[in-house]
Structure 1
Amino acid sequence: MVDLGLSCVSRNPKERPTSAEALYRLHTILSQEL
């Protein structure tokens, strides 16, 4: 979860996920935690 947050605020725009990528990664993280 921390990695996702850090990638979203990266200074390099190319390292930031798109909203779709961020949503997919968040969904994956939350699915694994349940």
Structure 2
Amino acid sequence: MIQSRSNNDNILCEVRSMIKSSILMITTEKQRTID
């Protein structure tokens, strides 16, 4: 149980970082189109 939980936490961290990077890319692209 503990091992699987830590694994889930790792996956959550990875997903969060992916979402953050994708959001950053989207915002930069929007700024480019505005400029």
TM-score in terms of structure 2 length? 0.48
Give the structure with higher Rg (CA).
Answer: 2
| The structure with more helix, counted as a fraction of residues | 2
Structure having greater relative contact order (Cα 8 Å, sep ≥ 6)? 1
